[in-house]
Homo-oligomer: A and B are copies of this chain.
């Protein structure tokens, strides 16, 4: 975790779409002073399930998986974090341990805000507190949807849905179709809630139907409408 040239909060694109829209210029400067930044190399752990939070993490750039370990040691990815997302809101509410771990899927730049000064800021700004509640409510809605689809839908639908989410989340490359993310089969499996082997087989099935095109760890969406149909989103 080597230190980097620290980006300025006031200019940070990440902040714009996040909670920092609720802050005054003065508060933003204050925020900027209390934060530290780091480069988190691919595969490195930002925080671990069971440890105690020390503050908030704000993703300046990169991709992070947030996952937890099931009873028999299998990983479940519950959230794919990206550019502008903030992790660990729960840190500010008390003494709770992390219920998830966060691991970089590629080199990422992460800003860190220590717990106490941030808490003070929230305490004095109900708009900010409301914004946090709002974000948590949205995440809760997504999580509830995920419970339902996990419980009810076959793997191919869930996989298709997750490909659509990843595409929307991380965008596409210059060709306008390749999802801007390198992800290994096992992570995809742990996101969808299935096995590596099943992901392999279904991805090949989708490729065979010319809905997607595979090249090592990248996925290109050839026919978005057909993918949506597979996801039952049409």
Chain multiplicity (copies): 2
Whether A78 contacts B129 by the Cβ 8 Å rule is no
Which of chain B's residues has its CB closest to A128's CB? Answer: B126
Whether B148 contacts A68 by the Cβ 8 Å rule is yes
Contact string against B for A residues 118-132, beta-carbon threshold 8 Å, 1 for contact and 0 otherwise:
000011111111101
Any B CB within 8 A of the CB of A208? no
Any B CB within 8 A of the CB of A20? no
Any B CB within 8 A of the CB of A134? yes
Q: How far is the CB of A95 from chain B (nearest CB, A)?
A: 12
Which of B72, B74, B144 interacts with A100 by CB under 8 Å? B144
Given A122-B126, A123-B127, CB of A144 within 8 Å of CB of B141: no
What chain B residues lie within 8 Å of A72 (beta carbons)?
A: 152
Q: Is the interface of A mostly helix, strand, loop or mixed?
A: helix
Whether A70 contacts B152 by the Cβ 8 Å rule is yes
Which of B130, B132, B148 interacts with A70 by CB under 8 Å? B148
Whether B152 contacts A93 by the Cβ 8 Å rule is no
Whether B70 contacts A137 by the Cβ 8 Å rule is no
**Which interface residue of A93, A123, A125 has the most chain B CB atoms within 10 A?**
A93
What chain B residues lie within 8 Å of A126 (beta carbons)?
A: 122-126, 128-129
What chain B residues lie within 8 Å of A128 (beta carbons)?
A: 126
What chain B residues lie within 8 Å of A74 (beta carbons)?
A: 152
Contact string against B for A residues 149-160, beta-carbon threshold 8 Å, 1 for contact and 0 otherwise:
111110001000
Within 8 A of B (CB), among A144-202: 144-153, 157, 193-194
Give the 8 A-B residue pairs with the shortest CB-CB distance, closest first.
Answer: A151-B193, A129-B129, A126-B126, A143-B143, A136-B136, A76-B148, A133-B133, A70-B152
